[in-house]
Chains A and B, each alone.
Chain A
Amino acid sequence: MTESITTPPWDADPFERDAVAGMQQMMRGMAELLHAVPEARYVDPSGGYIPLR
């Protein structure tokens, strides 16, 4: 069964809830920057996994 988050543990403390919210907002901002790169539209991903030997 897939584990789901109903109440994340960081919600228990207001300071940490706000800190995580800030971190996640930063991550979303960075992701939007990358989604706005038109040259990547038809490019294959780098990194990733090497076929098993």
Chain B
Amino acid sequence: MNEQPRTIAGAQQDLRTGRVTATQLIEESIARADAVDEAVGVYIRRFDEQALAAAAEVDARIARGGELRPLDGIPIGMKDIVSDGDGPTTAQSLVLDPAWGEATGDAVVVQRLKDAGAIITGKVTTMEFAVGMPDASKPFPVPRNAWDTDLWAGGSSSGSGSGVAAGVFLGAIGTDTAGSIRIPAAFNGVTGLKATFGRVPKSGVVPLAYTLDHVGPLTRSARDAAIMLQAIAGSHASDPYTLDAPVDDYEAALERGVAGMRIGVDSFQQHASAGYDPAQPALFDAAIRTLERAGATIVDVVMPRYAELTAIDIIVMISEAYAYHRGDILSRWEDYGQATRILLAGGEAVTGADYVQAQRVRRVAQREADAVLQSVDAVVSSTGHLAAPRIDGISLGDPMAALASLHTPYWNPLGVPTMAVPIGLSAGGAPLSMSISAPAWGEATVLAVGDAYQRATDFHLAEPPLVRSLERQPA
């Protein structure tokens, strides 16, 4: 068998030229899962049979001379809070009523991916209800980092990040409320895009926080993220939070590059409350220099209201989530994972006035941040200052501690597009990441900056030791 493509763009090309078949792509996805899933904890449920059948249909259509759809034959993982008619949805919890998924069928994002030809290979691990922590006492896999299985995969789109990094699938769908696409992307050395709030429909997705949730792709590259976003972006009547903003041609926008762009930089190092990895400052600085060599003008900026926006994200997230879970929390406390229930119980302390005040300060912060974002084309910041923590160091009684020195919650209340891209390895050999942000509806700019960086670097193509060891084994 030919060497398998490692990106969506590469797979598209190989399918068109006949270098690879859809069946081969899915067979490789299945073989990779067989080899690594027990160690990494990517899947809650695999759709092997459906995926192979879908791949056979694609190959038959190609043989008849039919047109290829944008994502035909591409294996995609689906976070298990997103409903898919091909199997149950659990939200990695004993609490979610299976009837909800059965009644919902395909979420809009799932239907759009299938319409584009994508093959959903299974439901992948998440933090419980997108907010808990790895909990070995519950009957679900513990999500581990593809680079070092003693480390956490990050979350809440854990399996989405580790699965792409381990080559189990070429792309995945995650959701992001305080960083849940960008954290697993950062910790696993892949690319993760949280688009503008309302860009991608949330209907058919178990909510964590109604005014903060975003649905988006995790992929190897910005180019692949552009391809996936193209398939899923756009308003939908079922989701009142979506807006009728025009959908750009994201792949075409990549050709723009960064020449002539003004890129603002705020490292957020002064906000790294739990410290920073020794390798991080130099890697971040090197990334900025790469963009400068690619033609961007670099300017220092100060993103405003860091403490307030972080507080807004937590207050709004926990209180909106508590509204959703209150009845079950009170009646089924033990069925929730310990970290999940402790986090959600925090919502009992938030008053109505607290919530309204958070949403008022949110508007103040949105205006102030927008003034900075509009003064440049994009802003680059650190996704976090530390690599993934050890799983055995996570305390279920203090779940927020695992998010130390992560800056992702800052961006959710702003609703602007933000994408995490890998920038190299920490002193301990685990991935580190930077974030690229732009004003609302600026996905094309964010993707262009990420793509320009990735044309000049290869961190996004690096393979974890676990995968390299597979490839060294004799057939």
- Extra inter-chain contacts (11) besides given A20-B342, A23-B349, A47-B359, CB under 8 Å: A3-B327, A19-B397, A23-B342, A23-B400, A27-B354, A31-B315, A33-B307, A34-B312, A43-B363, A46-B363, A50-B241
Interface residues of A in 1-47 (CB under 8 A from B): 3, 5, 8-10, 12, 15-16, 18-20, 22-28, 30-31, 33-35, 37, 39-40, 43-47
Chain A positions within 8 Å of B245 at CB level: none
Within 144-158 of B, Cβ neighbours of A (below 8 Å) are at none
Q: Is B362 an interface residue (CB 8 A)?
A: yes
- Which chain B positions have C-beta within 8 A of A39? 361, 364
Chain B interface (Cβ < 8 Å from any Cβ of A): 210-212, 237, 240-241, 307-308, 311-312, 314-316, 318, 326-327, 329-330, 333-334, 338, 341-343, 345-351, 353-354, 356-364, 366, 397-398, 400, 413
Task: Tell me which of A26, A34, A53 contacts B308 (CB under 8 A).
Answer: A34
B330 touches A40 (CB 8 A): no
Given contacts A3-B327, A9-B329, A31-B354, contact A48 B308 (CB under 8 A): no
**Majority SS of interface residues in chain A?**
helix
Question: What are 17 A-B pairs with beta-carbon distances under 8 A?
Answer: A3-B330, A10-B345, A15-B397, A16-B338, A19-B398, A20-B346, A23-B349, A25-B349, A27-B349, A30-B314, A34-B312, A35-B353, A37-B308, A44-B363, A47-B316, A52-B240, A53-B240
**A23, B212: Cα distance in complex, Å:** 20
CA distance A37 to B117 in the complex (A): 49
Q: Which residue of the partner chain A has the closest CB to B349?
A: A24
The 10 A-B residue pairs with the shortest CB-CB distance in the complex, in nearest-first order: A47-B211, A45-B359, A24-B349, A9-B333, A23-B346, A30-B311, A31-B354, A46-B363, A19-B397, A40-B360
**Nearest CB in chain B: distance from A50 CB, A:** 4
Min distance, Cβ A6 to any Cβ of chain B, angstroms: 10
* CB-based contact B312/A31 at 8 Å: no
What class of interface size applies to chain A in its complex with B?
Answer: 35 or more
Q: Which residues of A contact B (CB under 8 A)?
A: 3, 5, 8-10, 12, 15-16, 18-20, 22-28, 30-31, 33-35, 37, 39-40, 43-53
Quick check: B360 and A44 within 8 Å, CB to CB? yes
B311 A34 Cβ-Cβ under 8 A = yes
Known: A15-B397, A47-B316, A50-B241. A34 touches B338 (CB 8 A): no
A37 contacts B361, C-beta separation under 8 Å: yes
Known A35-B354, A47-B359: A23·B314 in contact at CB below 8 Å: no
Q: How far is the CA of A15 from the CA of B341 in the complex (A)?
A: 13
Q: From A22, A25, A40, A43, name the one whose CB has the most chain B CB atoms within 10 angstroms.
A: A40
